[in-house]
Structure 1
């Protein structure tokens, strides 16, 4: 089952999915750009639904203003299924006085978020640029423990798309998380096809998110790396997302392009390039498998 903020659903109920985005997000690194406006979030989600979107996975972890109560209200109001996250981001996103208490109890917090109240449906963790620091190793160890207790999938923020194989070494080889329960995010930001193929061959899901950001080498290289993965037989492991992290990036603020861009602009271009069957798999079948797990609790 897939665990949404309104309850568990069968994989075939998920539909067209934005596999990595944010309706609410507050970070010490982005002062003044908080995503905390419920009306703006609703406008964004309704626009996504009007473009054909049926589900959205919010990767905002614990301590960053994820607002699970509001997510449930928005999902109910718009008809778009929403999957929430637990876990922790990089240390720099938190105030130091709060971080220690979260890290020390992370397994307990994550299991609680995944199994009670308005439940999360995934665990979010993060690496650093080309390496895993002590914070990342500690957080990923706690995430692996929470996975083993619950079955939850683990989504990984790769800093500028780097160190995916190091993440798999830690989560899978050292801590026994099955590779198909790991989602590697931001791979579009480091368009090294050999690394992508190695991660795919290991069995992980590969998330390409944050389209329209030219400074992250996204759209103009995205087609090349996705074509390579499809041609090498790994199209069934690709996920796509918008990763809207600031108020200025929302379509509803007039800045944009926001969450709807994923379906209004990127999807038609990808369909022309890769074919509708491959792209439908990336938006429907693949997320249905990536976020569906045999929950243990």
Structure 2
């Protein structure tokens, strides 16, 4: 039994010291009407992806797939056990565009309770517990759906201690998110992980978010319309030189079948096979290993609470 802060994995709670090299944002299973025909739904492909990641030196993967997007919760424990890779699952809710209106209407009244249940008891009837909360902002702003979802996430965070990971649309809106979550909703900044900052290489915003105390996730290989890989060393060096090397997380964010390494894409191994080597050349191996080990071990660890009843007692 783990005492003190723990990382909640699909196989139980884990000491942060045992996490190892961590892909802090990726997906083994995912489906969305926004990505027709590209579903991550094949358990065999997920197993192969985990094996490839482990062969590249990986030890842990945090899957940011939230409620209603085909998380594969029943499969994750077996995949983690057979691969030897630690897997963390997510609760939460994405942008409304990723669901039918009926799903949003059904879960909206009890959203915070749903998040807490999945964090403390399990997802559906699987018994697989989530270890983080995933929510999403919009492009340079927050619509009513995002604000409602983030309010529910804040309530669940207070009840459980879980970290909140935030999808930033094309890397934008980070300061709006922090203003809402940490300002109005009083979530501790070190419980917030801002995702996709690599897609918007705004060094001023990065510095402000780090100064606020949030974790900054740079996740996903480069695309032609994203200033990711080629600007990343500059962005990370600026943060490290300013004293914020302990705020940085790295991930892969595989969201389509075509992007999996087993289907010819970069997939999970890209983070360690190619991305890591580029960053080590620019920043040094010691700093990059901190991004991959020490930082996620702190970011995803929590002093886990028992849930709503305990929080209101």
Please, what TM-score do these two structures have when normalized by structure 1?
0.99
Deviation at 1:59, TM superposition (A): 0.1
Q: Is the 8 A contact 1:86 1:120 kept in 2?
A: yes
Question: Aligned residue for 1:247?
Answer: 257
1:279 match: 288
Q: Which residue of 2 aligns with 1:261?
A: 270
Aligned to 2:63: 58
Instruction: Tell me if structure 1 keeps the 8 A contact 2:27–2:254.
Output: yes
Q: How does 1:108-187 map to 2 (within 5 A)?
A: 108-116=113-121, 117-187=127-197
CA–CA distance in 2 between the matches of 1:286 and 1:269? 19
Q: 2:297: which partner in 1?
A: 288
**Conserved? CA contact 1:158–1:186, under 8 Å:** yes
CA deviation vs aligned residue, 1:156-184 (integer Å, no higher than 9, x gap): 00001111111111111111110000000
Please state how far the C-alpha of 1:213 moved relative to its aligned partner. 2.2
Task: Give the equivalent residue in structure 1 for 2:109.
Answer: 104
Q: What is the CA-CA distance between 1:276 and the residue it aligns to? A: 1.0
Query: Aligned to 1:293, what secondary structure does the other structure show?
Result: coil
- The alignment's C-alpha RMSD in Å is 0.7
2:209 is aligned, of 199, 206, 212, to 199
Is the aligned partner of 1:219 residue 2:229? yes
Structure 1 moving runs of 4+ over 4 Å: none
Distance 1:17 1:289 in 2: 12
Q: Deviations over 1:223-280 (max 9, x none)?
A: 11111111111111000000000000011012x0111000000111111110111101
Q: Is the 8 A contact 1:87 1:110 kept in 2?
A: yes
For 2:234 and 2:109, the matched residues in 1 are separated by: 42
Does the 8 Å CA contact 2:217/2:248 hold for their aligned counterparts?
A: yes
After TM superposition, give the deviation of residue 217 of structure 1 in Å.
Answer: 1.3
Counterpart for residue 124 of structure 2: none
The answer to whether the 8 Å contact 2:166/2:192 transfers is: yes
Check conservation: 1:237, 1:286, Cα contact below 8 A. Answer: yes
Aligned-partner SS, 2:231: helix
- The question of whether the paired residues in 1 share the 8 Å contact of 2:221 and 2:266 is answered with no
State the shift of 1:101 in Å.
1.1
Q: Give the TM-score, by structure 2 length.
A: 0.94
1:265 and 1:180 map into 2 onto residues whose CA distance is 29
Query: How far did 1:103 drift?
Result: 2.1
Residues 31-53 of structure 1 show CA distances to partners (whole Å, capped at 9, x for unaligned) of 10000000001100100000010
- Aligned partner of 2:309 in structure 1 is none
2:53 maps to 1:48: yes
Q: Where does the alignment leave 5 or more consecutive residues of structure 2 unmatched?
A: 1-5, 122-126, 307-313
Indicate conservation of the 8 Å contact 1:212/1:257, yes or no: no
Q: Distance in 2 between the 1:227 and 1:213 partners?
A: 21
1:210 and 1:101 mapped to 2: Cα distance? 32
